[in-house]
Amino acid sequence: MRIRRRASRDDDKIELQMTPMIDIVFQMLIFFIMTFKIVSQEGDFNIKMPLAANTGMSVDPSVPPMKLRLTADSEGELTGIQLNDITFGHQFDKLHLHIISIVGGDQPDDSFRASAEIEIDADYQLRYEYVIAAITAVTGYRTPENEIVKLIEKIRFSPPKSPPD
């Protein structure tokens, strides 16, 4: 059997048509822009980050200062939760129940809640998920009727400390 070979020609060049490709790219861009849906924020935390210098903020004397201390081991795992002088071990739900008892149970005291402020002091190496769990424990919860009950809305973070050696 004999195989035929075609003579090669230099004029058989294949060119890419750029105009249709650019048209497709713009159509895809318009499609993604038009179908993009903005999702509402998951949580609205009223968090105050520490300033560079102490501003001498006045504190309402009727509201006791609350300082939440989160300690961690060298791996970043939570080793302890302490609110002022009360220790909660590793249990954020106990912290949550204690905050509910301070604020006023299912009927939170709005005047106390408006002036209540908590300062979170976390170890440098503490994993982020534990800080978020602490914020969740002190800010509020949902009732079985799916209503939001706010507890403490003002959250501050203590100035960061240097990493351990």
Q: How many CB atoms lie within 10 A of CB 4?
A: 4
Euclidean distance between CA atoms 72 and 75, whole angstroms: 8
Whole-number pLDDT of residue 108: 52
Whole-number pLDDT of residue 126: 84
pTM (2 d.p.): 0.57
Q: What is the DSSP letter of 158?
A: P
Whole-number pLDDT of residue 5: 63
Whole-number pLDDT of residue 106: 55
Domains of the chain and CATH, by start: 64-157 (3.30.420)
How does pLDDT run across 70-123, given as a tens digit for each residue? 888 888 888 888 888 888 887 888 888 887 777 765 555 566 666 778 888 888
Find how far residue 154's CA is from the centre of its chain. Answer: 15
Locus of tokens 């351990």: 164
